[in-house]
Structures are given as C-alpha cells and as structure tokens.
Structure 1
Amino acid sequence: MDLKETDILGSSIEQHWYYRSKAAATTRLLGNARVDRILDVGAGSGFFSHHLLTHTAATEAWCVDISYEADSDATTAGKPVHYRRSIDSVDADLVLLMDVLEHVDDDVGLLKAYVDKVPSGSRFLITVPAFQFLWSGHDDFLEHKRRYTLAQMEAVARDSGLIVKKGAYYFGAVFPIAATLRLLSQGAQPSPPRSQLKQHHPLVNTLLKTLCSIERPFMGANRLAGLTVFVLAQKP
C-alpha cells in the first residue's frame, strides 16, 4: 500500500471497502496452495503482507521499499516482518507486487530483477491499475507512469520470464460508477493532483464492500473490465 494513502486512511484501512476487498481478492486468487515466506516488493505499509500473515499459514514476510528511512524488524500475528530498503535475494515462495509496476519506467526490468532474486517455482501476485482512459489526478498524485489492460500486464509478466497462471480484472461491479465519474471529470477545469481515496459514510462503505464480495467468486472469469488488473504467475 502506498505510504501516501496510509496517511489518508490511518488505522481505518482494515475497514475501508477498497483495501478490504482487494485483500480478500488476493487470498482468493492464491487459492489453497500453501504460502510460507513472502517477499513484498514496493510494500509501503506492508498491508497485504500483514493480511496474509494474519489470515494464512504464511510464516514470514520481507517488505522492500526504497521509501523506508531505515531497515527494521517487527512482528505481525507473532510472525516476523523484515522491512528493508533493498534486498539481494530471498528464499520466498510468494512475491507480491501490489500496485508497483505502474510507478517505474521499465516495468519488465524491475519485475525481471525480482524474478532473478527468488527460487524456481516461486509465485508472483501482481496488481496494477486498469485502463489508460481512466487516468485522473489520482494517478498524478501517486506518480503513476501508466495504467494497463489485462493483456498488457500478462505480456509484461511473460517478458520477465514468468509463466502466467491466472489473469483477471477486479472491481468490475463498481467499474461503471468509477468510469463515469472519471470520464465526466476529464472535461472539467484542471485541478491539482490529489488522491481520490477517502473515508466514506459507513453505509456507503458497507454497500461498496457488499458489491465487491458478490463479484469476488466470479472474478477469475472477468477478462472484460474492472478498476484493477490481477495476474498470478510463476517462475519456471
């Protein structure tokens, strides 16, 4: 999770419809395969590693982010979490890149660098924002370089040496609402870049979580539209 958004949501992140739904989609896409050691690239607050350590049998996480002021160690659910500014290699069986690749000029180069740091058989779970036509001040605020289609993200994974196992869009249930709002705003007077993430009224938050929970069992079949691209791949 981007540290800029951590500052906005604070301790309420666990209940926010977007992150709660995205974390649930992450565990669903991973399925029943055992997760042991996690490498979380561009981890920010480490939200998704913390979720997996709390809700799965995962035993340890390495969170890597150049924005950390210094290396440190902590625990989540009694399990070790190592925060590092960089890492050479790690015996991880799951690598997370949650909304990371859209921040760099060379997405294939960054992904391949981490493919080379982990053992054969390691799985990669990657998310990126979907569809360039949805570009908004939110992307400018987070310093994105691009948004992706599912086919584009799958191509990046393959070009990095990975075998794509699953690919899908998520947040399809709220896609029409978000797309309408963003397209309408494109004709408005330009405003300073700012995050569109905010605290919602509890009823709105519950409604959005419910829509996403209804969609989640079918997300694996959604190759049409959504706000986020999910790709699960594996190192040969």
Structure 2
Amino acid sequence: MLTVENLHAWYDHSHIIQGISLTVNTGEIVSVIGRNGAGKTTTLRTVMGLVAKRKGRVGFDDQGDILMESTHARYHHGLGYVPEDRRIVPALTVRENLRLGLVASALKGQEEAVIDRIAETFPRLKERLNQVAETMSGGEQQMLAIARATASEPKMIMLDEPSEGIMPVLVDEMFDLFIRLKDQGTTILLVEQNVERALGISDRAYIMDQGVIVHEAPAADLLENKEIQDRYCSV
C-alpha cells in the first residue's frame, strides 16, 4: 500500500528526516513511535506532500512514485491525513464538517448516505450531527476530524497523535474505533505518544529517533520490550 524509500525532508536548512524507509501493507495498522522531536510528524507531512523540500521515493497503492505530486493528487489517490491540530471548522455543525470532507470527492453527490455510514461507525457523532463543533469536547472534536477524513473512503489514513490531550474514556473509544476502521478495510499509519495503546492495536511498529528509523518489529514484540521503549520512546 505505502512504500517509503530513503526519504529525506528539510525545514529551511534543518535536515529533519534523514533517509528513512518504511512500508505499510494493505489492511495493516502500523505505528511510528519515538520521543518528541524524533521526526514522526514530519514523516507524515512529507508523505502527504506538505513539506516542500524533500527527496527519496514515496510509492502509494498502484500509483508509482508520488513524492513530487500535489497533496490534492494524493488525496484523490486515496490517501487521508488527520493532523495533530485537527483543523475542524469550529463554527460549523458536525454534519457541515463532514460535508467538507466530500467537497472534492467522487462521493459528493451521496452526502446523506455517506453521513449515515459515518454515523454508524462513529456512534458518538451520530448523537451530535446538528451540534456546533466548538461546543464538543476535545476528544469528540478529534473523532470528528477522523470521521471527516474517512468520508471520502480513503484506502489509507494517517493519524498524527490522535489521543493527545484526550480524556482516558474517550481514548479507549478512539482506539476501539481504529480497530473498527481496520476491520472495514482502511489501512492505518499511526503516530502516537501513547506507546502501549498504539502497540496494542498495531500489526507492526517503527521506532524513530533523531530523524532515522532505529528499530522495526512486530508490535507484539515491541510491546514486551520495555528496554527499547525506555531507550527511544520516553518523552
């Protein structure tokens, strides 16, 4: 599904990503974990085409190398992305935010059917379709951001720190949701500071440190390896 090869990325003169390679197979949940500042968010932004200075190769689905394609083109290939800051429109209702996820989608003419589908997958949002987004809790707003990204039925979705600042009861609900999305056929690349929860739902995981991949393993193996977690993933 996704193949990243020798990827480099810069912000101005700062060389943030230094030749990383990773893969995400169709139907997997793959986590990228590591300390703050390791380069995890920059990795997702570069794969999505949001970092201007980059080199390497990003292969997605059957599209070949998409590294130099626009973010818009990547969206149309079926790549979704939920950034750390959510970027919902706070003054709009839940329903209106979900419609925004379909503006450039081939499903635009099927808005009500899509919203009905999302409401079944996200039961907490089903109760709040007419509620203004800014009146919801942070966790509910995060669910809305994820729901909006799934509206166009992407083949793969990248999630950046979805549990950050969320109350524990909603974190449990959110991780259950990721498993449900996987069961529905959505491939997931997850960046997450909650290492134990991320590894608990992932098939495989990569550990990043200072812009490079330092370890790759089945998530179950890393979940049991506290030495590696302490070395590379403590904040």
Q: TM-score surpassing 0.5?
A: no
Structure with greater contact order relative to length (CA < 8 Å, sep ≥ 6): 2
TM-score with structure 2 setting the length = 0.36
